[in-house]
Structure 1
Amino acid sequence: MEYPKFKVFVRCFTFNQSRYIEETMNGFTMQQTKFPFVCCIVDDASTDGEQQVIIKYIEENFDITDTAIAYQKETDYAHVIYAQHKVNKNCFFVALFLKENHFSHHKSKMEYLKEWNDGVPYEALCEGDDYWIDPDKLQMQVDFLDENPEYGLTYSQALVCNQNNEIDRSTIIGSSSCHSFSEMIEQNPVPTLSTLFRRSLYEKYRLCIKPNPQWRMGDYPIWLFFSLKSKIHFFEKVTASYRSLPESASHSRSLKKKLQFTKGIYLVRKDFINYANRKDLLAKCRRKYWCEAVVICLYQIAVFLKIKS
């Protein structure tokens, strides 16, 4: 099939996020752009009814009639739906409902996306529990990257909300405090859900970097690579809302999981310091890791003592 000349490919990986995915999809369809963009929602064989929520949303908001350009197809790995929004004609959805959970089988989903992201210049990320709140997010970021070829990544600020959709107005994540590689090794200022980046540079990352299974994160390594290969631009504007859940890849009540995640961050930093041949940063990186680990342990002890008392 011949697709429109998409300018942005939006990647949304989701699993068991039926409570939140509609808000995520609303954030996609609200985008006002001068170009066509495609949102690829990959459901990793959810068991909480999320696939039905996505299907219902597409049926209500997208043109899936026989006279439209929409289609449904079955592959050996997924059921696929592709359609154009009824009102926002620049917005296209492709939903992949995977037949088995790829995360538990350590299987990549990236190869399935080639049909829709091949040749698309820009990519944006938003997981199925986060959402965009600014209808000009994509247009603003594309305009900047179009006019500034030396930049590879843009990002902005985001609000924080909890599992009940209560927004913490006192907390805004995302800052312009560090963009050089040495600064990015110190901290990660980039909220993933706010990003838009050049796919050509991301493909170089995939060719050059072999992920360490102990990293326990997929976004921070990409931003470190971009800091080595291009400039990074920050928009001091809130465009999205990040959902902070009690149990997730980056948050947990478990001391073991907290320490594993902290070690994962350390290994990302260590591996990229070696990749960039910046051995001068290793000692500082080790000190930061041990300080963070000690703080986590002390906090956990304090919580335990408080409970006991």
Structure 2
Amino acid sequence: MNYDFDLSIYVATYNHERYIEKALDSIFLQKTHYSFEVLVGEDCSTDKTRNVLKKYEQLHKDFVRSGKLKIFYRDHNMYREIPDNADDLKSRCKGKYIIALEGDDYWIDDMKIEKQISFLESHSEYIGVSHNCIVVDENGNVTGEKYPECKRSEYSISDYMSNILPGQLTTLMYRNIYADSTINCTLLKKGLSPGDKLIVLVLLCYGDIYCMQECMSAYRHITTHGDSYSARHKYSFEEDERWYREVVLYLDAVAPSLTKYGDELYVRCIMKGIKERQCTIGKAIKSCKIVRNIFDSLWAWCVYKVHKDILHKELWL
């Protein structure tokens, strides 16, 4: 397959007036011999993000002329649309590899993409490669918070089932699965949130993920206000159940060897719904008809609760 660039970097931004310039600078300051494009989606921000981007274009006309920087100014907000802002950007990526940089995050190692692309070029057995990150607050101060990232070189389904990710979204570079007809990306086109966990799951179905134990990016975690997922999210059993139901159906169709993990995740979802009093016992029994072996899944849930809440193990399987 022929690609126009070695790497596509997509930047979905909304109300990132204070942060978007730093994010983009951290891309264009990268030292690499690989070619890359940057696709920015400005999702009708209510602050001055659009003005900042227009000034950025004027200051960096060479990036625009060369096709290295493409900014899409949305005519309406695409939140909760299918595709949404980020998904539309991903569909436009023409690179061999793909990575996200959210508009309020930034990279702190100017050799980051050189290291990651070089790894994937020399290790065809891996579908993705990630690294560690620091967590900062709205003012860029390091908080000391630990992101649930993988601290081993090889990422596994055991990590996934223990709520550990290979790394934060902007640390994970992977082969352009959206341009590969052999990879089933239907799970990523249903408007489900959070989407980063779905991307990781799809990648696991098709290859291995390597985790570099180097810190190369900053994740801005704002939970009290703003427009991040963490700030907006409120638990909804209805949304949660749909997310896990789609996971079960996808694994059943694409990766039968992983279906038992989908069943276990679904049972966890049902039990949480009961605990939060958003799911009745009758509804739980009816919903669990999609689970192939309910007894094995209930036993796996018991093991998970013991490992997580009583023994406080890192891996919950």
Q: What interval of TM-score do these two structures reach, taking the shorter chain for normalisation?
A: 0.7 to 0.9
Aligned counterpart, 2:295: none
Aligned counterpart, 2:10: 11
Which structure carries more strand by proportion? 1
Which digits, 9 at most, give the CA deviation of each residue in 1:109-143, with x for residues without a partner?
A: 5556766x33x211111111111111111000011
Aligned counterpart, 1:281: 261
Query: Partner letter of residue 218 of structure 1?
Result: G
- Secondary structure at 1:242 match in 2: strand
C-alpha distance in structure 2 between counterparts of 1:205 and 1:129, whole Å:
33
Q: CA RMSD in A?
A: 3.3
Cα drift, residue 283 of structure 1: 5.2
Which digits, 9 at most, give the CA deviation of each residue in 1:181-206, with x for residues without a partner?
A: 45424424131110111114764487
C-alpha distance in structure 1 between counterparts of 2:141 and 2:252, whole Å:
41
C-alpha distance in structure 1 between counterparts of 2:146 and 2:187, whole Å:
34
Q: Is residue 23–residue 103 contact of structure 2 (8 Å, CA) maintained in 1?
A: yes
Taking structure 1 as the reference length, the TM-score comes to 0.73
Quickly say closer, same or farther: Cα 1:286–1:234, change in 2 above 3 A. same
Q: Which of 212, 227, 230 is the equivalent residue of 1:251? A: 230
Aligned counterpart, 2:98: 123
Structure 2: 5+ residue runs without aligned partners?
278-317
C-alpha distance in structure 2 between counterparts of 1:183 and 1:202, whole Å:
27
Query: Partner letter of residue 285 of structure 1?
Result: L
Quickly say closer, same or farther: Cα 1:21–1:166, change in 2 above 3 A. same
C-alpha distance in structure 2 between counterparts of 1:205 and 1:225, whole Å:
12
1:94 is the counterpart of 2:106: no
Alignment: residue pair count: 268
C-alpha distance in structure 2 between counterparts of 1:5 and 1:269, whole Å:
32
- Secondary structure at 2:195 match in 1: coil
Aligned counterpart, 1:270: 248
C-alpha distance in structure 2 between counterparts of 1:100 and 1:93, whole Å:
21
Quickly say closer, same or farther: Cα 1:270–1:283, change in 2 above 3 A. closer
The range that moved more, 182-191 or 42-51, is 182-191
Quickly say closer, same or farther: Cα 1:262–1:114, change in 2 above 3 A. closer
C-alpha distance in structure 1 between counterparts of 2:230 and 2:236, whole Å:
7
Q: Is residue 252–residue 259 contact of structure 2 (8 Å, CA) maintained in 1?
A: yes
Structure 1: 5+ residue runs without aligned partners?
71-81, 85-90, 298-309
Query: Partner letter of residue 269 of structure 2?
Result: Y
C-alpha distance in structure 2 between counterparts of 1:274 and 1:44, whole Å:
35
Aligned counterpart, 2:41: 42
Taking structure 2 as the reference length, the TM-score comes to 0.71
